Structure formats: structure tokens, C-alpha cells
């Protein structure tokens, strides 16, 4: 795992622990999302990383962008600015979301189909996965005609590829 990802995970874990203590995971997530939105703008990121501007001035500029944010969110933003880690803000949010999902028992699944799926098929897929995994499932369904038929299911870093394309490639390899 690369250094930026490790740092983002650590910031997310610390922020999430505080959110759990406050018993407001959703509210803290909204505050974190506001920080990410404010700091991710290209012009803002460039200004906050400008070495010609004093650190105190960069922190002041960042805090001015977050006047309505909670003290904890502002503190996280200040730390990111001071340590020149504004670029990992979006990744912190991603790790925070994963922690929130895990804490609430939600599993995010990406499903790829060969043809566009209607709402009924999406519900059927979600219900089947929820039953199989034994937890609440949030699905993102997209279509990709190149898989020819079947499904490709991604659950975290696990992939279940039951596409016709893969079966044909395996058959071709077996016959070669």
C-alpha cells in the first residue's frame, strides 16, 4: 500500500473513532465531505501548497473556506494544510465511508451486466447478494456489452467473474 493511502486510512480511522464517540457518524461524514469539497478545488489546492505563502497564511486561508464547519472538521483541515497533505482529503473520505459501511453492516457491491438492467433485475440481484452475504447490500449496477453475457460482481477486492467472455477465454485456453 502506498504511503499516501496509509496516511489517508490513519486520518480516516482517527476521525471515524471521534465520530463514533460522538455517536454521529453521518453528521461527521457530512462535515468531512464539506472539507473535501473545499480543499479539492484545483485553485484552492494550489494556493494551500504554495511555498511562497507562509504556513500561517495558508492555514488562515483554509480556515476561511471552512467557517461553517465543525471544530473537528476544521482541525482535520488544519492538520492536512500544515502537513502538506491536502491531496489525500478525498481518499480520507473514501476510507471513512468504508469504515462507516463496515460499522453499519453494509456491503458495497459493483455488478456489471452485459445488457442494461431494469429496476426489477437490480432488486433481484441486490436481494440475492444480500441473502448470500448475510448483510445489507448497496449495489451499483452498470452494463458492459463486452462481457457478452452473465455477471461480474466486485465485493471490495474480491471479484466473481461469471461472464460469458471469461468462460469463452477459459475454453479457448483449455483447447490450446
pLDDT at 56: 93
How far CA 69 is from CA of 21, 43, 46, in Å, comes to 18, 20, 21
Which helix (H) or strand (E) segment holds residue 110: the answer is strand 106-113
pLDDT at 19: 96
pLDDT at 1: 56
φ, ψ dihedrals at 143, nearest 5°? -115, 145
CA-wise closest residue to 48 among 69, 38, 12, 93: 38
DSSP letters along 27-79, please? HHHHHHHHHHHHHHSHHHHHHHH-TTS-HHHHHHHHHHHTTTS-HHHHHHHHH
Largest CA distance in the chain: 67
For the chain (176 residues), the mean pLDDT of every run of 10, in chain order, is 86 96 96 94 88 92 92 95 93 94 92 94 93 92 94 92 94 92
pLDDT at 167: 93
The dihedral through the CA atoms of 173, 112, 135, 89 has a sign that is: positive
**Which domains can be identified in the chain, with CATH numbers?**
3-101 (1.10.520.20), 105-175 (no CATH)
The dihedral through the CA atoms of 60, 64, 70, 73 has a sign that is: negative
DSSP 135: S
Amino acid at each position: 500500500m502506498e504511503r499516501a493511502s496509509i496516511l489517508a486510512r490513519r486520518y480516516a480511522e482517527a476521525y471515524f473513532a471521534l465520530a463514533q464517540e460522538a455517536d454521529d457518524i453521518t453528521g461527521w461524514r457530512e462535515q468531512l465531505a464539506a472539507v473535501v469539497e473545499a480543499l479539492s478545488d484545483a485553485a484552492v489546492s494550489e494556493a494551500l501548497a504554495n511555498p511562497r505563502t507562509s504556513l500561517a497564511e495558508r492555514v488562515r486561508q483554509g480556515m476561511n473556506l471552512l467557517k461553517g464547519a465543525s471544530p473537528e472538521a476544521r482541525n482535520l483541515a488544519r492538520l492536512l494544510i500544515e502537513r502538506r497533505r491536502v491531496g489525500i482529503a478525498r481518499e480520507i473520505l473514501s476510507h471513512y465511508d468504508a469504515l462507516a459501511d463496515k460499522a453499519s453492516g453494509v456491503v458495497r457491491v459493483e455488478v456489471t451486466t452485459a445488457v442494461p438492467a431494469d429496476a426489477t433485475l437490480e432488486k433481484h440481484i441486490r436481494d440475492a447478494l444480500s441473502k448470500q452475504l448475510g448483510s445489507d447490500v448497496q449495489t451499483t449496477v452498470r452494463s458492459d456489452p463486452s462481457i457478452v453475457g452473465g455477471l461480474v460482481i466486485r465485493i471490495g477486492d474480491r471479484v466473481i467473474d461469471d461472464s460469458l467472455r471469461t468462460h469463452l477465454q477459459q475454453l479457448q485456453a483449455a483447447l490450446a
